[in-house]
Amino acid sequence: MRQLAIYGKGGIGKSMVSSHITFALASKGLRVLHVGCDPKHDSTRLLLKGKMPQTVLGTLRKKDFDVKKLVMEEVVFESPLNNTCSGCIFCTESGGPEPGLGCGGKGVVEAIEALKYLNVMEVLKLDVVLYDVLGDVVCGGFSMPMREGHADEVYIVSSGELEVLFAASNICKAVSRFNARSGVRLGGIIGNGRELKNEEDILDRFSKKLGTHLVGFIPYSEKIKECSGKGLTLFQHAPDTPECEAFRQLAESIWNNTGLSVPSSFTFEELHAWWAQASGRKH
């Protein structure tokens, strides 16, 4: 069973990218569990036709956090898109505390422990587990998928913007730190275009400097915004478009990826100097 974690700076489009990867892998005949690790619990929205599911933490809260009272069907849901692919998609959301209360990372910890208790991976006979993780590695809870070995491979969604690249570098630092503990490695960088000049080339060069590779590049597209607004993936909204083909190729590259590595990282000053030169901006 492959276990993947998708990280990246907040707002970069991780959930959109993750949902398309999940659907594309399921279209290969694989059984995929998509785990949303974000208090907003919107990671699986495109896989559930716009619906927001009951979360693991929310369900546990109603049961006084007694995991023995938890039933798998209460927190793991089959995607209604399963009738359009040859595999099977299952969705779950960790959830989190009410806004302004408690630690969001604790929801990830509770959810993963609950899924382990329910023996979900074995019961559902999964081929792939994909964790879509909130933002940067901001605390121990959100780093849990890589820290505790729940994810073997980490992929980082990034644009060519300086601040986004710096977040990617910091995530690489975490991968390197946890490698000795859990064996986690970086699978590569996933480019999500923001219409910057030479953006794919910048991301390719950045990936190589980290000691990894650009797994795929999704060009900026208004069609992606359209389908997200409708609660659909491109596979339902515009299956014959170049953008959709880019996601198919991305999923294929991930599935066949053998180039896992322990990456390097940069200080902000080092990255800024490199980015200014690579993007043609004055330092």
Q: How far apart are CA 157 and CA 10, in angstroms?
A: 10
d(CA 217, CA 193): 7
Distances (CA, A) of 265 to 171, 176, 178: 8, 9, 14
To the query of whether residue 14 is one of the catalytic residues in this protein, the response is: yes
- Structural domain of 266: 2-278
DSSP letter for 154, please: E
Q: Using alpha carbons, select from 167, 149, 136, 148 the residue that is nearest to residue 275.
A: 167
Give per-residue pLDDT as tens, 101-117. 666 667 788 888 999 99
Q: From the candidates 40, 49, 173, 223, which is the catalytic residue?
A: 40
- For position 189, what pLDDT does the model report? 99
Q: Name the token pair of 155.
A: 């992929």
List the single range of 15-24, 64-73, 128-137, 265-274 with lowest mean pLDDT: 128-137
> Is there a catalytic annotation at residue 9?
yes
Q: Angle formed by the axes of helices 199-210 and 268-278, to 10°?
A: 140
pLDDT of residue 147: 74
Instruction: Please give the share of the chain, as a percent, with pLDDT higher than 70.
Output: 93
The answer to whether the beta carbons of residues 258 and 245 sit under 8 Å apart is no
Q: Indicate the SS3 state at residue 199.
A: helix
Confirm if 152 and 184 have CB atoms less than 8 A apart.
yes
Asked if residue 257 belongs to a domain, the reply is: yes
127 tagged catalytic: no
pLDDT of residue 99: 66
Angle, vertex CA 193, rays to CA 246 and CA 155, nearest 5:
70
How distant, in Å, are the alpha carbons of 51, 54, 110, 184 from that of 72?
A: 19, 12, 14, 27
283 within some domain: no
Q: Which two tokens stand for residue 187?
A: 């699978």
Q: Is 156 helix (H, G, I), strand (E, B) or coil?
A: strand
Distances (CA, A) of 143 to 108, 188, 246, 256: 9, 17, 28, 25
Residue 21 belongs to some domain of the structure: yes
Candidates 136, 103, 99; CA nearest to 7 is: 136
The two three-digit tokens of residue 51, written as one number? 């619906």
Stretch (H or E) spanning 200: helix 199-210
Looking at the chain, the whole-number percentage of residues with pLDDT higher than 90 is 76
Q: CATH number of the domain at 55, please.
A: 3.40.50.300
What are 150-197's pLDDT values in tens digits? 889 999 999 999 999 999 999 999 999 999 888 999 999 999 999 899
As for how many domains the chain has, the answer is: 1
Catalytic residue selected from 38, 127, 132, 136: 136
Does 143 map to a domain? yes
Considering the candidates 9, 127, 152, 209, report the single residue annotated as catalytic.
Answer: 9
DSSP letter at 187 equals E
DSSP type of residue 124:
T
Q: Which of 101-105, 141-145, 204-208 has the lowest mean pLDDT?
A: 101-105
More confident position, 41 or 26: 26
